[in-house]
Structure 1
Amino acid sequence: MGCCSSKSGRYAPNQANLWRSTGIVALRDRGLRVFPNEVLEVDRFIRTLDLTNNRLVMVPEEIGNFRNMQRLVLSQNSIERVPGSIGNIISLKILTLDSNKLRSLPDELGLLVTLEQLSVARNMLTSLPETLGNLKNLFILNVSNNNLKSLPQSLGSCLALEEMTANDNLIEDLPHTLCLLGRLKSLSLDNNGLNKLPPMLLKECRALQKISLYGNSISMAEFQQMEGYHEFETRRKNRFDKVIGSNVMINCRGLDEGISF
């Protein structure tokens, strides 16, 4: 099952000891087709596992044995399925599965109650599990470049969520439960099929200060007529003033920074 870099078909003898001592396994750009046996054998010592840009087509069931892992990065592979055993990684805080071939995510993802960042951009997802609502510590979610037609109602239970990016999907309607996200600061929904927003979004999402709706059928005039628009505009301008005050370079949008149609 293992794949390696040495002539003997195994990693250097001290490699496993290094992984044990540092807790970090970084095997990017190695042409790996499967998880190396050597990695599976040190499962409980691993805190960070990065297998970006390989040729993996599956995640083994044994991934559930990595119970102390906090960061799992499997971007730029050909993974078609994530096993339900991933729900056993109770310490996981960051999960990145960008640029794979995923069509669905397991319901067990909702067991990752310590998860803070989830990115599944550039896959083939047609839906997200309702169990995402169990992720009470999630503050960054990126589901861009998929085939999503909707977002789960349960997202309204992700009360820690601060940044959600869902560009380049097929989303036609947003769940009204998004209005429950009192900490949401940034919402990006470019290039979808939206023609309206939840009526109370700007009023109830009291932290929202940046929104992007480019490529949808919502006009600026319609947006400005929403309840809570003036409060949103005040937050947006305050945020922009802080950016200027911090001497951050202003982009070409100038004072439009924070809103895009």
Structure 2
Amino acid sequence: MGNSGLKQHYETAKKTGTLKLSERKLDEFPQNLLALSPLLRTLDLSENKFVHIPDEIGNFTLLKQLNINHNRLTTLPEALGTLTKLEALSASSNQIKTVPWSLSKLTRLKQVNLSDNRITEFPPMFCDLKFLDVLDLSKNRITTIPDAAAALHVVELNLNQNQISTISEKLAECSRLKTLRLEENCLQLSAIPTKILKNSKVSVLSVEGNLFEMKQFANLDGYDNYMERYTAVKKKLF
């Protein structure tokens, strides 16, 4: 797309508050984009070649949705912490290794997708965010779910395809957690906390593809309690 095409996109964005610049082969943040910072509510920069997002992203204080999927990012800028109206952050399919603490300031976040990156430690900055419904950390390199995860308010936590071998039993204390996805990790049967089966609100627990047979899972202490919740939810759907 030439400059004239981009110009048309910018003109439309001034009226709609939405700008989509995906699949443009961009490797640098367009400087003329900054003129739209007081207007944009949705910004889509997915499927480009960005290696980093500059601190100027912090100027887009009205943003509610930011999509930077499928780039070449290794980090996220601390300046994202100033986007206090942000409700959806999507940065999947990058090469991100760490997540900045500044994201703990994004109190309106509802959905975060950081799947298919290189994150090795569970990101505690998303705990205590009261409106965060879905946290997708699938396809990373996380090995442990720590005690701190007990402070999550999410309804769904996706940790499929990581390297998790340890789960804190405190995860059972999550006040809203109903769907916990742990498929294709490194879990032994003994690593599944009884407390999650017996005393949590989790009604969908996906653990296929770990280091045990599913029939063994069905023999665990607390499995019947879990199945009662699972069945009750299924009945509500029909």
Q: Normalized against structure 1, the TM-score is what?
A: 0.83
Counting aligned pairs with the same residue, the percent is 29
Give the counterpart letter for 2:3 in structure 1. S
Supply the RMSD in Å over aligned alpha carbons: 2.0
Q: In the aligned structure 1, how far is the partner of 2:221 from the partner of 2:175? A: 16
1:193 equivalenced with 2:193 (yes/no): no
Q: In the aligned structure 1, how far is the partner of 2:186 from the partner of 2:44? A: 35
Match of 1:74 among 51, 68, 71: 68
Match of 2:77 in 1: 83
1:129-184 alpha-carbon deviations (Å, 9 max, x no partner):
3222132211101111111112343221122x111111111111012221112322
Match of 1:172 among 165, 177, 192: 165
Match of 1:5 among 2, 5, 11: 2
Q: In the aligned structure 1, how far is the partner of 2:60 from the partner of 2:165? A: 38
Match of 2:35 in 1: 41
**Shift of residue 22, structure 1, vs aligned partner:** 0.8
Q: In the aligned structure 2, how far is the partner of 1:167 from the partner of 1:63? A: 30
Moved more, 215-224 or 51-60: 215-224
Total equivalences in the alignment: 236
Moved more, 33-42 or 21-30: 33-42
Q: In the aligned structure 1, how far is the partner of 2:180 from the partner of 2:122? A: 17
Report if aligned partners of 2:86, 2:109 keep a CA contact under 8 Å in 1: yes
1:162 equivalenced with 2:155 (yes/no): yes
Give the counterpart letter for 1:202 in structure 2. L
Report if aligned partners of 1:165, 1:187 keep a CA contact under 8 Å in 2: yes
Match of 2:218 in 1: 224
Q: In the aligned structure 1, how far is the partner of 2:230 from the partner of 2:127? A: 27
Matching of residues 7-156 of structure 1 within 5 Å: 11-12=6-7, 15-156=9-150
**Shift of residue 11, structure 1, vs aligned partner:** 3.2
Report if aligned partners of 2:180, 2:204 keep a CA contact under 8 Å in 1: yes
Q: In the aligned structure 1, how far is the partner of 2:235 from the partner of 2:130? A: 31
Q: In the aligned structure 2, how far is the partner of 1:228 from the partner of 1:40? A: 55
Q: Structure 2: which 5+ residue stretches go unaligned?
A: none
Report if aligned partners of 1:118, 1:140 keep a CA contact under 8 Å in 2: yes
Q: In the aligned structure 2, how far is the partner of 1:71 from the partner of 1:42? A: 15
Secondary structure at the counterpart of residue 41 of structure 1: helix
Q: Normalized against structure 2, the TM-score is what?
A: 0.91
Report if aligned partners of 2:66, 2:90 keep a CA contact under 8 Å in 1: yes
